[in-house]
Chains A and B, each alone.
Chain A
Amino acid sequence: MDIAALVSCLSSPACIVTQATGGLIVGMLLFLVAAGLTLIFGVLKVVNFTHGSFYMLGAYFALTIFNFTGNYTLTVFGAGVATALVGLVFERVFISRVYGQNVLMQLLVCYGFILIFDDVVKILWGPEFKSMGMPPAFQVPPIFIAGGVVPPFYLFLVGVTILIGLTLWLVIDKTRLGKTVRAAAHNPNMVAALGINTGVLYGLVFATGGLLAGFAGALAAPVRSLTPGMGFSILIESFIVTVIGGMGSIVGAFVAAITIGLIRSFGSLGFPLFTEGLMYVFMVVVLIAKPTGLFGREVG
């Protein structure tokens, strides 16, 4: 424990800026993955354990697209859309068969596909780790805000993630499609009785989850090593975010992800040997105070 280092940092604007930026980056990527996870759970009532694999696929799609085009904007969109398509096919062909079934059956199907997706990545891209490298546009020196170090790529990443988050919120909250999705989450039978094709709707929701995870993978690819199985660690953290934020709540996922990111960033100074533990302590505290999570609602 090094409380002096934490206090010293909190009294320095430069340190606060550097640590807060670092925390935001971790939080933003977590949010993108957790938002898809919580959206799928909220509407389909399926805990999608393969969601980490979608993040992995997004990163590998990004690697391939970037190697071919050298255009990072195209890379992010391409990886997102490709992962969304994988999500759509996966939902229509496999997950749709286990709706309403025992959660163990859903878990088994998802776990099986985690292994399959890992092996597919090994076959297509090889078992060794890969590095995409920083796009040339971002190979520039960091900028200084109030003395704190802020890499330009991270500013881009935060901006893009906020844009994606706002778009998601607008679609879910302000459009007819969003209303239908929310209605399906509340009462799917009534939505079906009104003549809406819930199968298409469910496929769309799953694809959106894949899109978000694909975006996250593509945005992380320039700074993280790509390995088969890389989705597993982010899956665990995304579950923590989802539980803290409240299962099914996108706003909750956002608040929880940013909080987790900041806890990790500042915690690494004050509690260097307990940074991981702080995340779990926070989850326990939230669940004791509000068992449904920060923005979760009581069921029934």
Chain B
Amino acid sequence: MTRRRIGFDRRTLLTGAAVTTVGMLAAPMVARSQGKLIKIGMPTILSGRVAQLGNSSRNAAIMEVEKVNAAGGLAGLQIDLVVRDSKGQPQEAARVARELVNSDGCEILIDAEASSGAFAVHEVARDLSVLCLHTNSETSSLSADPKLRLPHVFRVCRQGIHDAIVGGAYAANVAKTRNLTKWMTASPDYAYGRDTTAEYMEYVKHFKPDIEIVGESWPKLFQPDYTEVVTKILQTKPQALYSALWGGDITAFIDQGNIYALFGQMETFAVNLADYTALTAVKNLPQGIHSGNRYIKTFPKTADNAAWADAYRAKYHDYPTNWSWQNATAVHFLAAAAKKANSTDGKKLAEVLKGLTITSPFGADGKVTLRAEDQTLVGYAVGWGTTIPVEPYVPEMTPGDWNQIFALETEWKKKKGFI
């Protein structure tokens, strides 16, 4: 009996190994061209106290991705949105973002983190040179500070300085009409609360210099009881109150303030109230509280905006939030950029995104722009109005003036040394 030699020598083995290795390395590109798929990673907060906002970010992005895919995808590639939970922790946001790119093969990041996580993801985007769109961080320095600016990173959301200018101008008008000179603030004691409050009061004073801040209260973030804050306000007797409390904190504050009849004794300006998360949760929403728009379907008062909100509600049986419209806008920008560039390459998309203007249901005049100079969103609907206890909750909004925003923002940037 002769032993039959198997045709599997060292040369064949090495050739096979080489072919396999090349094949494995080339697999994503082959799959991409044949399977017509592009992965977009989304780190966001899906657990903990901010989970409602993270979920609403994911929902809005999915809703828009489905539309883009139905219309042929991103430059012909179907979008596969990969969403991961950061639990609201910056270090986890950075880890998840890195994993989305390195392990999941995501070529674009939609960073749906709050500010603390966004700065962490920003560094990952710097390190991995991946196209990244921040969609929820409102901290102005993220895009205003040139030291942080990266050619492939954009901010597709509102920001603190814009809100402060619009809010300050609105409040000063109310203050002039009703002669409100004694103001008090009650905001959460962390970076966002302190920065937002300082910027807001700075612009109220800019437009009405004779106001005086007679008291401040800084409750902890997520503090369960605001009785001491309410009674302090009662003792201080201001004519106007500003608060940057948000989410469950603003609803608890309103519930506890209501039983002291607090809101009938002064004009209250609550920047974060006009969002469905808070508006629908407060059972006894007082009439006449001034609030900045976060997201409501009646502002901008257009058929497109109302239709978008209705579609979201029909799909998820829930209201969209401020984070929803911002993440939807990010997908809109990616779709428009891919169409214009006819590519999904990150560098090409980044070049096109700079200065890109798109039609949008969330634009002040039906359009929004990613301003080229600092790669940030401008032209979105921003305004203030007063509450009523039932839908539409804030029937009339006074829109902000974008020319005024641009002028004062430039002054602010000069003062900060950003330009």
Contact = CB atoms under 8 A, between A and B. Distances in A.
B223 A233 contact: yes
A224 B277 contact: no
B248 A227 contact: yes
A128 B231 contact: no
Interface stretch (B10-18, B171-179, B251-259, B411-419): B251-259
B235 A5 contact: yes
B48 A229 contact: yes
A157 B281 CA distance: 23
A225 B281 contact: yes
A22 B235 contact: no
Interface string B237-276: 0000000000111011001101111000000000000000
Interface residues of B, number: 38
B216 interface: yes
Interface string B195-229: 00000000000000000000011101011110111
Contacts of B261: 141-142, 149
A142 B259 contact: yes
A129 B281 contact: yes
A196 to B, nearest CB: 39
B283 A225 contact: no
Contact of B228 (A151, A152, A275): A275
A53 B232 CA distance: 30
A36 to B, nearest CB: 17
B255 A22 contact: no
Contact of B227 (A26, A128, A132, A276): A26
A224 B224 contact: yes
B230 to A, nearest CB: 7
Contacts of B252: 131, 223-225
Contacts of A229: 48-49
Contacts of B225: 25-26, 29, 223-224
Given A127-B47, A131-B283, A272 B216 contact: yes
Contact of A131 (B49, B218, B227, B255): B255
B218 A22 contact: no
A141 B227 CA distance: 16
A265 B51 contact: no
Contacts of A19: 231, 235
A18 B235 contact: yes
Nearest to A265: B228
A15 interface: yes
A134 interface: yes
A134 B255 CA distance: 8
B284 interface: yes
B234 A18 contact: yes
Contacts of A233: 222-224
A230 B223 CA distance: 9
B55 interface: yes
B182 to A, nearest CB: 15
A269 interface: yes
B318 to A, nearest CB: 8
B259 A134 contact: yes
B52 interface: yes
Contacts of A131: 248, 251-252, 255, 281-283
A239 to B, nearest CB: 15
Nearest to B321: A128
A132 B283 contact: yes
Contacts of B222: 227, 233
Contacts of A153: 259
Contacts of B283: 131-134
Interface string A1-27: 000010001000001001101110110
Nearest to A25: B227
Given A131-B281, A223-B252, A224-B255, A142 B260 contact: yes
Contacts of A139: 284
A11 to B, nearest CB: 12
A18 B265 CA distance: 15
Closest 9 CB pairs of A and B: A133-B283, A129-B248, A225-B248, A128-B52, A151-B259, A268-B228, A127-B51, A22-B227, A225-B252
22 contacts: A18-B231, A18-B234, A22-B227, A128-B51, A129-B251, A131-B248, A131-B255, A133-B255, A134-B259, A141-B261, A142-B259, A149-B260, A151-B260, A154-B259, A223-B225, A223-B255, A224-B224, A225-B248, A225-B281, A227-B49, A269-B235, A272-B218
Interface of B: 47-49, 51-52, 55, 216-218, 220, 222-225, 227-232, 234-235, 247-249, 251-252, 255-256, 258-261, 277, 281-284
Interface of A: 5, 9, 15, 18-19, 21-23, 25-26, 29, 122, 127-134, 138-139, 141-142, 149, 151-154, 220, 222-230, 233-234, 264-265, 267-269, 272-273, 275-276
Given A29-B225, A122-B51, 12 more contacts: A22-B230, A23-B228, A128-B51, A128-B281, A129-B247, A131-B283, A141-B261, A149-B260, A224-B224, A225-B224, A225-B255, A275-B228
